[in-house]
Structure 1
Amino acid sequence: MPQAINKVLVTGSNGQVGCLLSQKLERLKDEFKLYSFDREALDITSQDDVVKKIDDIQPDIIINCAAHTGVDKAETDIENSFAINELGPKYLAEQALKNDALLIHISTDYVFDGNKTEPYNETDKPNPKGVYGKSKLAGELAIQNTGCKNVILRTSWVFGEHGNNFVKTMLKLGKTKEKLGVIGDQFGGPTYAGDIADAIIIISKKYQIREQSGVYHYSGHPHVSWYELACEIFNVATKIDDNYKAPQVIKIRSIEYPLPAVRPANSRLNCNKLYKNFNISESDWNKQLNENLEGFFK
């Protein structure tokens, strides 16, 4: 008997995760029929747009990669942040419930204040400091309040070949700066966007019962500071490109580099629940840097 093919609707297809996820799903034609949309093709803040697309497609799985991720910009772009990060997920969740579809939604470590000394568990109480974290937490709650089948995947320090991220910023600055100050008192788990995409695909295949619904953590290991991550980026860059001259990286404190939005000092996430329920291991960010960094130069 042939295997059933699941119809999958992906939002935010031009983002870091959405782009790689769409590429990977496209190669799995015997398991998934992909409907992939960037913001121009599907604006999740438009309830009419969401209803029409989902009614037309009637997907089995909805994967929301769309988000307002400008952490500092969110401090002044409040209405837009909540529209994309709360209302959009709410509209998707309502339609997921109506169609008995599974909604997989990407959330963030910024729902926590960063004051805990140990890695955060899913059961720890969120306490976001900035607008971005508050809007993402509001989105999580909006999804859960609909009662739809859902997996909310909190992740951190995402980097990939597409879109803007810390790795690309470091490589770009490294070409023009002899010295570079990088924050050394914020700690987290860098996470490769391709690994997030792989985790989502595994969840899509293994989700069977409503008891699997809920919040999960998925991020990279080992945990490091931004300073340590920058040092490793330049270490790998000089191995890949003999002509790349890395700058001197200087460890600085958060207080020396003030930004509009306060970042959590501790963004480390405990990912045991995801491994227990879906057998998904943490992202090996160092391995992915070594294997994929060449693509970041393009």
Structure 2
Amino acid sequence: GARLVHVSTDYVFAGDATSPYAEDADPAPRSAYGRTKLAGERAVLESGARASVVRTAWVYGLHGKNFVATMFRLAGGDGPVDVVDDQRGSPTWSADLAAALVALGASQAPDSVYHVTNRGETTWYGLARAVFAGAGADPGRVRPTTTDKFPRPAPRPAYSVLGTARWDSHDLPAPRHWSEALAYALLAMSARP
């Protein structure tokens, strides 16, 4: 039979950790968004179906609005760009996430909660500087600021690096480092009309 792979988020965690969240870490969402994502996870896992949950974070892609696409566009302009430097996470290219989801669906790995992001960690500021550099723009135009300068309806966790020990223990393909994935994504963005 088919396997359900439910995609969830780093927002299920409080964001006050100082080391990567393990797959079995206690969730403590701080927003309605995080609470509803956690409720979805639990419903899937308690359904009795062959199902797994994949938590991911900081996803960007070639289509739609996302942080990397916005920074890529701003890199083509002039003037400074203020970006928060007090949130840490693992940027995740949607193409790599999609490949991981397919691999899990086709695998014999047990039904469970898995974390899948590109490897490594950075801040939004660090990611923005990498986008500017990769786009051939001056990364010095990116200036660090704090989260309180950019309020959001669903507060983002300050630290949302997700540990991947369970994923790694089941011989599933390890996603590449976020900076390598970003380089490929920027090449693809540059090639678009």
Tell me, yes or no, whether TM beats 0.5: yes
Deviation at 1:245, TM superposition (A): 6.2
Extract structure 1 runs of 4+ deviating beyond 6 A.
Answer: none
Deviation at 1:296, TM superposition (A): 2.1
Query: Which of 112, 115, 126 pairs up with 1:217?
Result: 115
Q: Which residue of 2 aligns with 1:115?
A: 16
Fraction of identical pairs, as percent:
36
Distance 1:117 1:227 in 2: 18
* Unaligned ranges ≥5, structure 1: 1-59, 61-100, 239-243
Distance 1:282 1:272 in 2: 13
Alignment of 1:278 onto 2:150: no
- Taking CA–CA contacts closer than 8 Å with sequence separation of 6 or more, which of the two structures ends up with the larger relative contact order? 2
Could you tell me the TM-score, scaled by structure 2's length?
Answer: 0.92
Distance 2:32 2:156 in 1: 11
Alignment check: 8 A CA contact 2:4 2:52 kept: yes
Larger helix proportion, structure 1 or 2?
A: 1
Alignment of 1:253 onto 2:154: no
- What is the alpha-carbon root mean square deviation over aligned residues? 1.7
Could you tell me the TM-score, scaled by structure 1's length?
Answer: 0.61
Q: Which residue of 2 aligns with 1:158?
A: 59
Give a deviation string over 1:12-60, Cα, whole Å, max 9, x none. xxxxxxxxxxxxxxxxxxxxxxxxxxxxxxxxxxxxxxxxxxxxxxxx4
SS, match of residue 216 in structure 1: strand
Alignment check: 8 A CA contact 1:113 1:129 kept: yes
Residue identity opposite 1:134 in structure 2: R
Aligned residues: 191
Alignment of 1:147 onto 2:48: yes
SS, match of residue 266 in structure 1: coil
Question: Per the alignment, do residues 177 and 142 of structure 1 end up closer, same or farther by CA in structure 2, a change over 3 Å counting?
Answer: farther
- Superposed, 1:40-79 pairs within 5 Å as 60=1
Distance 1:248 1:264 in 2: 25
Deviation at 1:207, TM superposition (A): 2.3
Distance 2:65 2:184 in 1: 19
- Superposed, 1:1-298 pairs within 5 Å as 60=1, 101-207=2-108, 212-238=110-136, 248-297=141-190, 298=192
Give a deviation string over 1:100-141, Cα, whole Å, max 9, x none. x31011111110010111110111111111122111111101
* Unaligned ranges ≥5, structure 2: none
Deviation at 1:259, TM superposition (A): 2.1
Deviation at 1:275, TM superposition (A): 1.0
Alignment check: 8 A CA contact 1:192 1:283 kept: no
Alignment check: 8 A CA contact 2:100 2:175 kept: no
Distance 1:128 1:226 in 2: 21
Alignment check: 8 A CA contact 2:5 2:54 kept: yes
Give a deviation string over 1:75-103, Cα, whole Å, max 9, x none. xxxxxxxxxxxxxxxxxxxxxxxxxx310
SS, match of residue 221 in structure 1: coil
Alignment check: 8 A CA contact 1:202 1:278 kept: no
Deviation at 1:282, TM superposition (A): 3.5
Distance 1:246 1:181 in 2: 11
Alignment check: 8 A CA contact 2:84 2:144 kept: yes
Greater C-alpha radius of gyration = 1
Distance 1:262 1:278 in 2: 34
Distance 1:145 1:191 in 2: 28
